[in-house]
Amino acid sequence: MDRELAARVAADQAALEEERVGRRRFISMSALSAGGLALVGSACADDDAAAPAAGGDTTTVVPAADDGSDVVSIFDRVRDGDTIQVGADLNFPPLQLKDASGNPAGYTVELAQAMFADLNPDATLEFVEVPFGELFGSLAAGRFDMSAIGATILPSRSQQVMFAGEPLFIENTIVLRNTSSGVRSVDDLNASGVRLAVLAGSAQEASARRIFTDAEIVSLEQQPAIQEAATGRADAVLVGEFGLAGALEANSTLQVLSGPPIFADINTWFMPIGDHRMKAYVDNWLRYNIIRGRLATFWNERVGNAARAAGARSIGVISPYLAAADVLGDTIG
């Protein structure tokens, strides 16, 4: 009886292995047929990060929560050398943009490249450009595998995608007023006749509609929203601190509305619902690099220093545990 049982187990394992290899081969061929942008390195490379070797018998099947079907984790696909399609709107410098050579670059993009490279140094990414407001539905529909940019962790978005559990950056929202507008304070924004431009589909739009219920909210893409205020068609525009310096440099008719940020949001990468294996890796990668000060340093280089010089508050992501240890260590440790 033991021999019979052992034979059944061996047969089942062989069948599962054949199915797994076939599935992986199909996904790999489908991804490679789309072409790819080879990842050749990142300015954020960390010599201390040890990447496991690609390949091996590691494919894990995770349930997709929406339809009950099986998907292969992005984690295993990267380790197996598959091309990974990452979604991005590259119109938000210096967070994400195209450099002088037309290649994706910026704070969120370069950290994403570094994160994938730490998982597999030979990782290949293909960037799929999607307007920001369409990113979440596009991922849920399978147009790409995972985001290469961060987004605010709105509960409504979490019905379509799964966010990482650690922050990629903290976004303070600043009001830029047209210098000819009668708006002089945040309180002036919530009034009939005031037009406030916001990024369509953004957390700023969601919050603005709750806070400034008497104002007219104009939803546009990022640059058109800024121009709406710069030309006087809107009294003001909401921008993240990352877009502050560029907006002021390009538009002399805009100025920072005095006072603290009207609200702040945590932004991070997102992936398909159900891919907990990839989420665990992303969480660990972010946590480790936050503790090492990598994110805060890079944030200051790309965003924070310029935002502060323009008159805004800016805070890089740091570990609350290490911060608490530094403050309380002598009293309770």
Q: pLDDT 10s digit of each residue in the chain, 333 long?
A: 445 544 544 554 554 445 444 444 333 333 333 333 333 333 333 434 333 333 343 333 444 444 445 679 999 999 999 999 999 999 999 999 999 999 999 999 999 999 999 999 999 999 999 999 899 999 999 999 999 999 999 999 999 999 999 999 999 999 999 999 999 999 999 999 999 999 998 888 999 999 999 999 999 998 999 999 999 999 999 998 988 899 999 999 999 998 888 889 999 999 999 999 999 999 999 999 999 999 999 999 999 999 999 888 899 999 998 888 877 766 665
CATH 3.10.20.30 is held by the domain 2-166+269-292: no
Amino acid symbol at 286: L
Q: Tell me the backbone φ, ψ of residue 256, rounded to 5 degrees.
A: -70, 130
Domain spans of the chain?
2-166+269-292, 170-265
Burial class (CB in 10 A: 0-12, 13-18, 19+), 287: middle
Contact present, 268 and 161 (Cβ < 8 Å):
no
Ramachandran quadrant class, 257 (left: phi over 0; alpha: psi -120 to 50; beta: rest) = beta
Task: Name the token pair of 284.
Answer: 């660990």
Q: From residue 303, give the alpha-carbon distance in Å to each of 92, 147, 226, 310.
A: 11, 20, 18, 11
The pLDDT, as a whole number, for residue 7 is 52
CA 73 to chain centroid, in Å, comes to 19
Same CATH topology for 2-166+269-292 and 170-265: the answer is yes
Task: Name the token pair of 36.
Answer: 């790819």
Task: Name the token pair of 90.
Answer: 């590259």
The pLDDT, as a whole number, for residue 256 is 93
Amino acid symbol at 315: I
CA separation for the pair 298, 303 (Å, rounded):
8
What's the pTM value of the predicted model, to 2 decimals?
Answer: 0.73
Contact present, 120 and 46 (Cβ < 8 Å):
no
Q: Indicate the CATH number for domain 170-265.
A: 3.40.190.10
The pLDDT, as a whole number, for residue 86 is 98
